[in-house]
Amino acid sequence: MNSRKQEARQLLDRATALSRSGDMISAIDLLEQASRLDADDKDVFETLAALYMLTSAPPQNRLHVYERLTIIEPEVCHHWYNLGNVQRVLNKLQDATAAYMQGARHCRNAHDVLALDCGLASIAVAAEDRRSAEVHLIRAMEMIPEHELLAYRRAEFSKAFGREPRSLDDIENLSLECFAEIGREEEAVGLLELVWEAFTPMPAFLREGAVGSLQYVDVRAKLSDMFFTVAQWHERWGKAGSAIEKYRCACEVHEATFQHRARWRVEIALQIGEGESRRCIALSLALNAIGVMIMEAGLGSYARWYLELAVKADGENAEARLNLDLCQSAEDW
């Protein structure tokens, strides 16, 4: 350990003792000295950040500390969250959004997802973007419904827009009411698309963080039902690419629920005939993608069924044929 690093550690030890005795100001002074001696000492910057928080230091003071922590430990989600919070308070909303999204790459659990969504929801409220704010809160409410931070953001939303953000159950019930009335189908699909925006598998943190945090099968099944309904309507409206993507997402969220639907959809599509060749090609591509996804999950027999249907839907789909051969070879081995 070089002399500067050693001196910084000594200052950290003295600052820790002072903070325990209640002398926060002197402790902060020593830590600031230590941070100038060793800009890579995580303990120095984390302790300084904690004392800044305890003493309600100005956000500008905290900004450089969190910026440094994201450099020292860029893989730690809460460093980016804290940086985003400080930038948001300083009205640097674009910087704050970028920090939250960077943190999203490193989500590890439901708490991480919820914290980032609450931050992004607050930025959307400030921008008077009700839809975006509600999308973030819909997802957050399914993570940890009783979290104190979420309660604060919900109150912030209500004050700005004059109503509570809608939950997954609220949207399901409202959409059913719309579907029950002739001429309100677009309104119903629009409601379900809020859920699609909240739980689509892009970007990566939604797949790995949000969807991965939904441990209850009934929630996953509900999401799958909603995506499937949106896909059906998009198909009716001639939005084939969007429909296929939503069918695939229904499979990702709750694969078991999707399997019997996939069989039903494909069998109908294959009976359409040559007049709908483009549709068969599109379905073949989708089935191939689903088959590969299931094959990678180690479910060879299920994957082979999808890949066989992909080849049946479009005999010219060389990729599907190759994947089917690989799947059969793996089973033979």
123-138, pLDDT tens digit by residue? 999 999 999 999 999 9
pLDDT tops 70 at residue 19? yes
Last residue of some domain: 133, 161, 189?
161
Asked if residue 195 and residue 78 are part of one domain, the reply reads no
Last residue of some domain: 196, 229, 253?
253
Task: Specify whether the CB–CB gap between 52 and 61 falls below 8 A.
Answer: yes
Q: Which residues of 44-67 are buried (b: 16+ CB within 10 A; e: fewer)?
A: bbbbbbebbeeeebebeebbebbe
175-188, pLDDT tens digit by residue? 999 999 989 999 99
Instruction: Categorize the per-residue pLDDT at 313 as very low, low, confident or very high, splitting at 50, 70 and 90.
Output: confident
When divided into structural domains, the chain yields a total of: 3
Look up the CATH number of the domain holding residue 18: 1.25.40.10
Last residue of some domain: 103, 126, 161?
161
First to last CA, the chain: 55
| 3-class secondary structure, 203 | coil
> Which residues are CB-contacts of 88 (< 8 A; sequence separation ≥ 6)?
96, 119, 122, 123, 126
| 3-class secondary structure, 254 | coil
216/136 Cα distance (integer angstroms): 20
Asked if residue 98 and residue 48 are part of one domain, the reply reads yes
pTM, 2 dp: 0.72
| H or E stretch at 89 | helix 77-89
- Angstrom CA distances, 277 to 203, 272, 313, stand at 32, 9, 9
Asked if residue 313 and residue 325 are part of one domain, the reply reads yes
Asked if residue 156 and residue 36 are part of one domain, the reply reads yes
Asked if residue 142 and residue 32 are part of one domain, the reply reads yes
Residues of the domain holding 303: 254-333
Q: Please work out, in degrees rounded to the nearest 5, the angle formed at the alpha carbon of residue 19 by the alpha carbons of 16 and 22.
A: 155
Q: Please work out, in degrees rounded to the nearest 5, the angle formed at the alpha carbon of residue 55 by the alpha carbons of 42 and 127.
A: 85
206-263, pLDDT tens digit by residue? 444 455 555 545 677 788 888 888 888 887 887 777 777 777 777 767 665 555 566 5
Average pLDDT, the chain: 84
Locate the DSSP E strands across 166-247: none
Asked if residue 266 and residue 249 are part of one domain, the reply reads no
| Token representation of residue 20 | 């325990």
267-294, pLDDT tens digit by residue? 555 554 445 566 677 778 778 877 887 8
